[in-house]
Amino acid sequence: MPAEETLFQQVFSGLNALPAGASVFCRCRFENCRMPGVVLNGMTFEDCTFYACDLSLASLQGTAFKDVLFEECKLQGTAFYVCARW
C-alpha cells in the first residue's frame, strides 16, 4: 500500500462524510451513514459491510469493492458500472 493511503479498520456510524484522507477501508462496518451524493472516486473497500446507509447518487469512478455487503441500504441512482474491476 502506498504511503499516501490511509487504512481504516473500524466501525463508522452516523457519518455525514468519510474521514479526510480516507482511501482504503478494510474489514469496516458502516452503520446508518447518510452520504447521498458522496464522492468515493478511486477508493477501495474490502471485506466491508454497509448497513442501513444512504449512498444514493454516490460517485464511484474507479472505486473498488471487494467482498462488500450492502444490507438495507438506499442506493438509488448509484452507478456501480463505473467501479474498478477486480
Phi, psi angles (nearest 5°) of residue 83: -70, 160
pLDDT in tens, 36-78: 998 999 999 999 999 999 999 999 999 999 999 999 999 999 9
User: Does residue 41 fall inside a structural domain?
Assistant: yes
In degrees rounded to 5, what are phi and psi of residue 34? -105, 105
Please tell me the predicted confidence (pLDDT) of residue 16.
Answer: 57
Is residue 28 assigned to a domain? yes
Is residue 51 included in any domain, yes or no?
A: yes
Provide the grid cell at 68: 462488500
Examine residue 3 and state whether it is found in any structural domain, yes or no: no
Specify the pLDDT at position 62: 95
Average pLDDT, the chain: 85
Q: Which domain holds residue 41?
A: 24-79
> What nine digits make up the cell of 58?
454516490
2 in a domain, yes or no? no
Residue 55, in any domain of the structure: yes
Asked whether residue 72 is domain-assigned, the answer is: yes
**Number of domains composing the chain:** 1
Beta bridge partners of 11: 29
Q: Which are the contacts of 9, defined by CB distance < 8 A and separation ≥ 6?
A: 25, 26, 27, 28
Q: Residue range 22-39: average pLDDT?
A: 88
Q: Which 8-state DSSP code applies to residue 61? A: T
